Amino acid sequence: MSAATTAATVRYRVRHETAYRYAHTAEHAWQRAHLRPRSAPYQRLLQHALTITPEPTERRSDQDFFGNPVEHFALARPHTASSVHAESIVEVDPHGPPPDAPSPGWEDVREAAVSAGAATRFELAQFVLSSPAVPRSGACARLGAAEFTPGRRWLDALSGLARRIHREFEFDPSATTVATPLDEVLRLGRGVCQDFAHLMVAGLRSIGLPARYVSGYLLTHPPAGQPRLVGADASHAWVSAWCPGLGWVDVDPTNGKLADTEFVTLAWGREYGDVAPLRGVVRGGGEHVLSVAVTVDPLE
């Protein structure tokens, strides 16, 4: 272990398997993968392998606009099935503030975001403006304002908004798709982690506070007495919000709590579309069946 590692540091092995089966032969496929966990002050990537079947005819690695590792690949040969298997070993240090940590009033945080130095203002501006899936709106501003009341401490209000979304919205994987707009999520009162992260980001941005969408994994716990099942976990999404002095603080509205060492960060951006684990186009193939299996194992 490195010198930065402490007794509270947690190490994980993450396996993320995606498989496509096509009704007919697909001629070409082009994909972009955000499946390599990014480095962060609190997170170190120790090992990573991305295996693609069939073997890509083109492949390259680089970083996207937000500094996330990204892999581009093409399957320029006929195929009826393909798979993408990512396996990583990651260390995560404690980094979340305690719930009672001191923080400024939220109005002071909003003012600090617009009066910071030029480099910081540029970074924060992209996480305050609207984006296609996360528009600023009156409805979202009212959601944020329900917790960000005048003079309230920023961290108290942030935790309160996460708890409110957890309390008032029901987790329902059948209620929405990746294309469901936020107005529909608000009307339905249900959705999945992606929807709740978008909703919280929109609530924060709509009152002028910087917030970004985070894609990654959450360590889940099986019922007492039952073993962890391979492939039973899933990708997760949460929110990172900025405060001077505290920096970026991760918070999970799906579970109504601050995020810390049980969370493995893949990538962050304005919204899901910026950091989808796999995104691309296929020529041919007709109807297809997609299956995804994720396993997050803590390592001694």
CATH number at residue 74: 2.60.40.2250
pLDDT above 90: percentage of residues in the chain: 89
Report the candidate in 146, 130, 148 with the shortest Cα–Cα distance to residue 211. 130
pLDDT digits (tens, 9 = 90+) for 8-21: 899 999 999 999 99
Q: Is-contact 90 264, C-beta < 8 A?
A: yes
Does residue 300 have a pLDDT over 70?
yes
Q: Show the domain range for 212.
A: 106-219+229-275
pLDDT digits (tens, 9 = 90+) for 108-139: 999 999 999 999 999 999 999 999 999 999 99
Compute the distance between CA of residue 279 and CA of residue 70 in angstroms, rounded to an integer: 11
Co-location of 30 and 88 in the same domain: yes
Does residue 230 have a pLDDT over 60?
no
In a domain, 4, yes or no: no
Co-location of 284 and 262 in the same domain: no
pLDDT above 70: percentage of residues in the chain: 95
Report the candidate in 70, 72, 88, 80 with the shortest Cα–Cα distance to residue 12. 88
Q: Is-contact 194 252, C-beta < 8 A?
A: no
pTM, two decimal places: 0.93
In a domain, 100, yes or no: no
Which one-letter amino acid corresponds to residue 212?
Answer: R
Co-location of 207 and 122 in the same domain: yes
Q: How confident is the model at residue 6 (pLDDT cuts 50, 70, 90)?
A: very low
E strands in the chain:
10-33, 43-53, 58-63, 69-75, 79-92, 170-171, 190-191, 211-218, 235-243, 247-252, 257-258, 263-269, 278-284, 288-299
